[in-house]
Every structure is written in C-alpha cells, then in structure tokens.
Chain A
Amino acid sequence: MKKVIEKYPLGAVVLLLPFWIILYIGLQPLADAFVSLTNLPPGEHITEALRFFVFEVPKVLMLLTLVVFGVGIVRSYFSPERTRKILGGKSLLAGNVLASLLGVVTPFCSCSAIPLFLGFVESGIPLGVTFSFLIAAPMINEVALVLLFGLFGWKTALLYMSTGLLIAMIAGYVIGRLTLEKYVEPWVYEVKAGHFEMVEEKILFSQRIIAGIDAVKEIVAKVWIYIVIGIAVGAGIHGYVPENFMASIMGKSAWWSVPLAVIIGVPMYSNAAGIIPIVQALLEKGASLGTVLAFMMSVIGLSLPETIILKKVLKIQLILIFVGVVAVGIVVVGYVFNLIY
C-alpha cells in the first residue's frame, strides 16, 4: 500500500477521494445502525451520548485527515525562509497584514518560535510584524479550523479565522507602534546569522502529495487521542448536562463571563483538538458564542509553554504587553459576538 502510494501518489489520491466521500456521507446512517444494535432505549441520556460519540469521532477524524493532507500540500509551497523573504522591507501596516496571513500557511511549531524570531529580527523585519506572525501562527491552525467546521459549521470556522487574523494584525500593529525594541534581550541584535542558500530544488507535485501524506501521519498520530477524549467528554455533557445549564455562567447576560473565560483560558494549555469538542457541548447547553470563542482563542492562541520559550529572547515587560494586548483583543471579540448573536 505504502509503496503504491509513493509510486503513484496522484493516482492514489484520485482513487481514495470518492471512497472518502461515500464513507463520509454514510457515517450518520452507520452510526444510527450501530446505536440501534446496542438495543438501548432511544432518547435516553446514555443512548444520545453514545450516538454523539460514534458519529462525531469518525467524522472529525475523517475531516481532519482530509484537511491536514490539503494543508500539508499548501505548506510545501511555504517555508519560514521564504516567508522571511516576503516580509523583508514591508512597511508596518502592510507587513502586519501579510505576516498574519503567512502565519496561517507557514509551517510552524512552538519549538521553532525562537529560531524563527531570531531569523526575522536579524533580517530587519519590524518587531510588530514579527508578532503578527507569532500570534496568527498558533491561533489559526488547521486542527482548530477542522473541528470548528465539523462541530459548529462553516460560519463559525470562518468567524474564528477572520477574527483571529484581525487580532493578529491589530495586536502586532499596536506592539509595533509602542516601539518596544528595548525589551528584547540585547544579544538578539548581535546574532549574525549566516545566510546559507537553501537549495531550492524543483519539487515535483508528487513529492508535495507525499508531503501531505507525511503531514497526515504526523499530525493525526499526535492529536487523535485528544480528539477522542474531547469528544467523549463532549458526549457526556451532551447526554447528561441539562439544557440551559450553562446559560447563567457562560451566557450573554453574564457580562463578566467574557473576561473570566479569557483569564481562565490563558494559562490553560490544551491543543485545539481537546478543547473544541468540550466547548461545542457547552455552547449547546446555553453558553454564548462570544464567550465560547474568547475561551477557545485564549486557550489555543496564548499558551504558557510558548510564552516561557519566548522568555529567552524577550524581557518580561514585553511578554506581559504581548499577552495583555492579545488578551484585550480576544475580550473585545468576545463582547462583539455576544452583542451580534
């Protein structure tokens, strides 16, 4: 199987895609059939929780596989080196917009945050522009978007993406205007990076498909367990927590719910895969969309481990300003959505 895919990657994808679509369409009847096999009485808590679980787990995993594959191909066109080249010499505002967008498509993991930061600063990219990238990259990731699309629908996924981009652009711009270069560790500016020329090999499309398959292997292997646990907890909430239970705590009328959600969310560290299924169940029980969005963004976008890593290159004042500016942006987004919906 593996050999065949490596030899005929395009053919394998073309053949597997219809199979994927048929299976995806068939998931609901399959899940219903499975639930009716268990002879549990329909409408009971346990039955509905089980139905939710056996439908959502394969659905989300299938969506994830497809999207991670697609994103893997897209990312093979981008590299941090290329992104740096694109961002070089851009003015502040245009740079912020561009950096946020590139943050979405450039491959990024928080363990690379420092080399990336050094590389950006060293080639003269303004601090604010660098921050736009560093905010957008973790906040808007393919796993979050898939889960939002799969569990909430495309409108919410789009909303999350566009508000996330907006926060990255504005927060980066604000940080840029504050001229905080003095809060960067001085050694950062002394780094003389050697400029090796990455041999830009001509990459065949079949190699990009293999890059997509590799991305699936890597990411799905890493997050599937969080998705299963997240959906299991979500299924429990779905089946057992009474309707409108969350309304008083996370509902619209509770004005303090948005800042509270952010304060709880910032130090919490979970990847998108674990948190979103839980959040979806909360929404169903009366939590309001703005509060839920704010909570999700603060958990995914601002993570404690990443800020600790950044401590090596940034003074504490700048880290606090960075977290503060982003947190304020998220709170504003939360309120706006509570107002609209």
Chain B
Amino acid sequence: MIIKVLGSGCMNCKTLESRVIEALRELQMDAAVEKVQDYQQIASYGIMHTPGLVIDEKVAVAGFVPTVEKLKEILIAHRST
C-alpha cells in the first residue's frame, strides 16, 4: 500500500501526515507514506483543496483533516478492496 499526503507544507498537511502515521501504527499496518508538495502533481489528482490523501493512487480525502479514528476506517476500507 502506498499512501501519499498532498499539500504544500501548511499546518493541516503536517497534521494529516502525523495522524496517518499514528493510524497505521495503531492498526499495525505497513505502508509507505510519501509527501507530495509539487502543485502540478497535486493538481493532477484533481483535488482543489489541500490537504489530500491518496491511497494507491485513489483520492481518499480532500480538503479536511480527518480524526485518527476516521483515518483508521478509511485505511481498513482500502485494505479490503
């Protein structure tokens, strides 16, 4: 599983990244977490609203920072597909 955190380094993006790592640890899941800061790449996912979360090239979150609990649900849902 490859997880990408999209955002240009604002507060929300950092929060999202640390929550993703936290959620992964609590679920004991293994995944590569990458940061995408390049605007061209961010736009290529079609999101207009940072921060964004992309799991295996699919946009999972755009424009808000979910709670760790919510992130766990998202991660589990993606794992089962």
Chain A residues with CB under 8 Å of chain B are 79-81, 84, 107, 109, 111-112, 114-116, 118-120, 122, 187, 191-196, 198, 312-313
Chain A CB within 8 A of B10 CB:
yes
Whether A112 contacts B46 in the complex (CB less than 8 A), given A79-B63, A312-B39, comes out as no
Contact A196 B43 (CB under 8 A): no
Residues 11-46 of chain B, each 1 if its beta carbon lies under 8 Å from chain A, else 0: 110000000000000000000000000011011111
Chain A residues contacting B44 (CB-CB under 8 Å) are 191-194
Whether A81 contacts B45 in the complex (CB less than 8 A), given A107-B63, A191-B40, A196-B58, comes out as no
Chain A CB within 8 A of B68 CB:
no
Q: How far is the CA of A338 from the CA of B48 in the complex (A)?
A: 40
Contact B43 A191 (CB under 8 A): yes
25 inter-chain pairs at a CB distance below 8 angstroms, sorted by A residue, are: A79-B49, A81-B48, A81-B62, A84-B48, A107-B63, A111-B50, A112-B49, A114-B39, A115-B42, A115-B49, A116-B48, A118-B39, A118-B48, A119-B47, A120-B48, A122-B43, A187-B40, A191-B40, A191-B43, A193-B43, A194-B44, A196-B59, A198-B59, A312-B39, A313-B39
Contact B43 A111 (CB under 8 A): no
Q: How far is the CA of A116 from the CA of B47 in the complex (A)?
A: 8
* Count of interface residues, chain B, beta-carbon cutoff 8 Å: 20
Question: Which listed residue (B40, B48, B58) contacts A112, Cβ 8 A?
Answer: B48
Contact B63 A80 (CB under 8 A): yes
Q: How far is the CA of A192 from the CA of B46 in the complex (A)?
A: 9
Chain B residue with minimal CB distance to A190? B40
Chain A residues contacting B10 (CB-CB under 8 Å) are 109, 111
Q: How far is the CA of A84 from the CA of B59 in the complex (A)?
A: 18
Chain A residues contacting B50 (CB-CB under 8 Å) are 111-112, 115
Q: How far is the CA of A90 from the CA of B43 in the complex (A)?
A: 22
Question: Which listed residue (A84, A112, A114, A313) contacts B63, Cβ 8 A?
Answer: A112
Question: Which listed residue (B43, B49, B59) contacts A80, Cβ 8 A?
Answer: B49
Chain B residues contacting A312 (CB-CB under 8 Å) are 39
6 extra interface residue pairs, beta carbon distance < 8 Å, beyond A115-B47, A116-B49 = A107-B63, A112-B48, A112-B63, A115-B42, A119-B48, A193-B45
Q: How far is the CA of A25 from the CA of B40 in the complex (A)?
A: 52
Q: How far is the CA of A90 from the CA of B7 in the complex (A)?
A: 29
Contact A115 B59 (CB under 8 A): no
Q: How far is the CA of A79 from the CA of B52 in the complex (A)?
A: 14
